[in-house]
Structure 1
Amino acid sequence: MDHSSVFCIIGAGTAGLATARRVLEIGGQIVVFEQTTEIGGTWNYTDAIGKDKYGLDIHTSMYKGLRTNLPKEVMGFPDFPIPEQKESYIPSQDILNFLQCYAEKFDVIRHVRFEYHVMMVDTVTNGPKKWKVQVKNLPEAKIGTYFFDYVFVCNGHYHTPQKPHFSNTDVFLGKQLHSHDYRSAENFNGETVLVIGAGPSGMDLALEISKKARHVTMSHHTKEPFKTIFPINLTQKPDVRELTPTGASFVDGTCEDFSVILYCTGYRYNFPFLGASCGVSVDDNYVQPLFKHCINITQPTMAFIGLPYYVCAAQMFDLQARFCLKYYSGEKRLPTQQEMITDMNAQMERRWEQGYRKSQAHMMGPAQGEYYKDLAETAALEPIKPVMTKLHNESSQRFNDDLLNFRRDVFRIVDDQSFEETSGNMAI
């Protein structure tokens, strides 16, 4: 890579900021396109749901009063941790403030073009630049075209709701919404609520809503019983079979009435701006073909930062960006297309054999440490400290075991391998 190489970065959330910082570090030129008026991506709160003033989908899924469900000790960047404070689980505004400090420290913000909507990314057939990116300057309603050597897709994956497919969805006479549009438990005062899904957001929101609702039922197919002791007005049911005009029937043959249904059923990976020439497909949230879950094998000068989930996000974004830039800088030579496909197929075959479904193609969780190690060893990079993976996995288990009290835990990083924990002695 020569210093005239220009990088397009789509999105100024955590992944986009991490990538921008690392590109600047190696002397690359960047343009960051951000659809909203602020950096921070999904960490920005707004009361608005649905469409924004330009008719575009509201991007953020942040809700009022959110405190992190991971300790701040694993949420910082490798060389830029979140500042010390007495709590490990902190308000979302603190994360946003932290990202602002990070962006200012590494001089990223002046490279961000706010209120620019990326409309289309295509390869260039003629000319030295490889990518043509069409964007709309939203305030001025002007469409422009830019040319780049590299494209980093950093648009996140908590913005396009995914809803389950079961019969009679339209017959229900009450209110239906996805967690993407959840903003406050106050909106559920006195309601009888069905929460569908028991992932992190389903568990968290069911508990929040139970503080205001008359009753909450959480429907899920989790096989392991939860160790958490739920409030008396929060009960569990198996999967929904179908909706009825007044509620839902379940696969166990029972029926219940509800006034509101909240879908906590996750999100779809969505890249509506990628043209066919990019050579990327998404099948049930499996984005392919990708080398190490990030480099586009069809067009290797394009990379995706942040697809894997249940991870130490900022740490991983930074590692993925450094991984890609080892090749884009010319410091390491990228494997051939066939070698990358062979590597991808071998890795995914191991996942399928371990019981992963296609929709879990990019799920890491307890296996995240192996992924970080693979990236670091493949590209000869400084690895993520093992303590991060250990603390992430420990705190995730605490979330599952004691939803009511886990945020009282306080952690302290001791060294690269170990941490200390104080449980249950702090007021929330």
Structure 2
Amino acid sequence: MKVCVIGAGAAGLCAIKNCLQQNLDVIGFEQSNDIGGTWVYTDKIDKDERGLDIHSSMYKGLHTNLPKELMCFPDFPFPSQEKSFLPASDVLDYLNLYVDTFNVRSRIKFLHIVVRVRPLLDNSWEVIVKNLITNMNETFIFDAILVCNGHFSVPHIPKFEGQKTFRGRQIHSHKYRVSKTFQNERVLVIGGSSSGTDLAREVSNDANLVIWSHHLKEHVDLKAENGNVIQKPDISSLTEDGVFFNDGSFERINTVLYCTGYEFTFPFLSIDCNLSCYENYVQPLYKHCININRPTMAIIGIIFNNCPFQTFDLQIRFHLKFLTGEKAFPSHEHMLADTEKDMNERWKQRGLSRRKAHSFGDGYQNEYYRDLAVTADIQPIKQYVTKMYSENRRNRQKDIATFRNYIFTIINDETFTTRLLFE
């Protein structure tokens, strides 16, 4: 069986490794000249030396917001070190070690960008790839496709009244690199997710004032060193030099920094792939990964609020169990019914919007992991994973300034201990 993996970030590397362990003939395509995807830092923010859009959203000084005990693949722990929260460079070193340990690099065609993927009449796949060295297109035929192109490169910027009249700077966190570019400014940071929380603190190191707009239900104490962060509700409108909020208050600002997430994009998939993506809801996907209309294709890693590396590995093993014929794919009707039941619960019981269609988080990711393992009869994710995820989330809510000072130690498959680095 010939398998195509699109992308050589963490998900793509995991896909190639698992395919190799199943003795599959796998090729990965990566548009850059190295592995790592979003974990590769660059000072560039627009185009690379070949005129391609910069893929990585990594900023200087980023540290993981999950402990390394959750950032690893289940069968390949991080090298031993005391701290649990690591700089991005350590994650990239880990991925390189993973690649070299499992001989993954030899299966990757670097500087090859996937132009089009389309199904053929015999249920195989035609993949057209542009070789960026020769500038020529090449055509490959595969039996299966694992789409691992990453989802942190195309910014989502919400629309606000007055957005076009604002005379200051407007940028997305995708293009954020260092806080000194906001020196002496009044900066509006929009968004309450990980990037919004982290960058509100980061920018406060150089800005005169940070106005952080979010709709988090719980209060977050940023404890900015300069005491120059104020929190505001959602935005009502922008003016030429400021912003009105839903509570009627107004602040003058120089810059808007959007920490508002990313768009799922699959520009290389032909319409014949029978997948749609509207407001980040990708459908129809069985268990949030297998293309129901063409099940030899899987989209890996679009779920969020979870443990990503653990999820990549589980989803890939889940798909390969069916691809290799160890288990028969469920019927088209069964996959549709299962997905409809899942999504109805998300819409009605959890009240999720389309943009949250693939959101998990506390409790729900544990159910999802268990469901995949039971359905495909594969090794489940260890119990400590979701427990540790929940404790880390509580620590982060309690004190965003110090939650990375915790050290996690795994005791066994179910339990772990926690202590502060500076006790």
TM-score (norm 1): 0.96
Which residue of 302, 312, 317 maps to 2:312? 317
What does residue 294 of structure 1 align with?
Answer: 289
Distance 1:28 1:424 in 2: 44
Distance 2:41 2:298 in 1: 28
Note the alpha carbon deviations across 1:218-250, whole angstroms, 9 max, x for none.
011223222554452000111111111112111
Q: Does the CA contact (< 8 Å) of 1:43 and 1:96 recur in 2? A: yes
Which residue of 260, 266, 284 maps to 2:261? 266
Distance 1:45 1:229 in 2: 27
Note the alpha carbon deviations across 1:41-86, whole angstroms, 9 max, x for none.
1000000011222322110000001111110011111110111211
What does residue 87 of structure 2 align with?
Answer: 91
1:74 paired with 2:70, answer yes
For residue 20 of structure 1, what is the amino acid of its counterpart? I
Deviates more, 1:218-227 or 1:115-124: 218-227
**Aligned-pair CA distance for 1:129:** 6.1
1:384 paired with 2:378, answer no
Q: State how 1:349-360 maps to structure 2 within 5 Å.
A: 349-352=344-347, 353-360=349-356
1:204 paired with 2:198, answer yes
**Aligned-pair CA distance for 1:88:** 0.6
Which residue of 181, 187, 193 maps to 1:187? 181
What does residue 177 of structure 1 align with?
Answer: 171
1:255 paired with 2:250, answer yes
Q: Does the CA contact (< 8 Å) of 2:212 and 2:230 recur in 1? A: yes
Q: Secondary structure at the match of 2:288?
A: coil
What does residue 235 of structure 1 align with?
Answer: 230
Q: Secondary structure at the match of 2:164?
A: helix
Q: Secondary structure at the match of 1:282?
A: strand
Which residue of 3, 10, 22 maps to 2:6? 10
For residue 265 of structure 1, what is the amino acid of its counterpart? T
Note the alpha carbon deviations across 1:255-311, whole angstroms, 9 max, x for none.
211111100000011111111000000111111100111100011110011111111
Distance 1:293 1:170 in 2: 36
Q: Does the CA contact (< 8 Å) of 2:220 and 2:400 recur in 1? A: no
Distance 1:250 1:350 in 2: 33
The answer for unaligned runs of 5 or more in structure 1 is none
**Aligned-pair CA distance for 1:161:** 0.3
Which residue of 374, 395, 406 maps to 1:409? 406
The answer for unaligned runs of 5 or more in structure 2 is none
**Aligned-pair CA distance for 1:17:** 0.6
Q: Does the CA contact (< 8 Å) of 1:406 and 1:424 recur in 2? A: no
1:55 paired with 2:55, answer no
Q: Secondary structure at the match of 1:332?
A: coil
Q: Secondary structure at the match of 1:170?
A: coil
C-alpha RMSD of the superposition: 1.2
* Ranges of 4+ aligned residues in structure 1 off by more than 3 Å: 227-231
Distance 1:88 1:189 in 2: 31
For residue 76 of structure 1, what is the amino acid of its counterpart? C
Q: State how 1:316-355 maps to structure 2 within 5 Å.
A: 316-352=311-347, 353-355=349-351
What does residue 158 of structure 1 align with?
Answer: 152
Distance 1:244 1:360 in 2: 29
Q: State how 1:125-136 maps to structure 2 within 5 Å.
A: 125=121, 128=122, 130-136=124-130
Note the alpha carbon deviations across 1:152-205, whole angstroms, 9 max, x for none.
000111111000111221111111100000001121111110001111100000
Distance 1:227 1:259 in 2: 24
Distance 2:8 2:274 in 1: 24
Distance 2:421 2:222 in 1: 14
Q: Secondary structure at the match of 2:211?
A: strand
Distance 2:106 2:321 in 1: 25
1:168 paired with 2:165, answer no
Note the alpha carbon deviations across 1:366-419, whole angstroms, 9 max, x for none.
111110000000000110001011111211221222111111111101111111
**Aligned-pair CA distance for 1:424:** 5.7
For residue 65 of structure 1, what is the amino acid of its counterpart? G
For residue 372 of structure 2, what is the amino acid of its counterpart? L
Give the paired residue count.
420
**Aligned-pair CA distance for 1:124:** 1.2
For residue 286 of structure 2, what is the amino acid of its counterpart? F
Q: Does the CA contact (< 8 Å) of 2:187 and 2:211 recur in 1? A: yes
What does residue 24 of structure 2 align with?
Answer: 28
Q: Secondary structure at the match of 2:301?
A: coil
- The share of aligned pairs that are identical, in percent, is 46
1:106 paired with 2:102, answer yes
Q: Does the CA contact (< 8 Å) of 2:151 and 2:302 recur in 1? A: yes
Distance 2:139 2:421 in 1: 55
Which residue of 274, 278, 299 maps to 1:279? 274
Q: Does the CA contact (< 8 Å) of 1:129 and 1:147 recur in 2? A: no
Which residue of 208, 214, 217 maps to 1:214? 208
Q: Secondary structure at the match of 2:16?
A: helix
Q: Does the CA contact (< 8 Å) of 1:405 and 1:424 recur in 2? A: no
Q: Does the CA contact (< 8 Å) of 1:195 and 1:219 recur in 2? A: yes
Q: Does the CA contact (< 8 Å) of 2:167 and 2:241 recur in 1? A: yes
What does residue 136 of structure 2 align with?
Answer: 142
Distance 2:123 2:29 in 1: 18
TM-score (norm 2): 0.97
Distance 1:424 1:166 in 2: 43
1:44 paired with 2:45, answer no
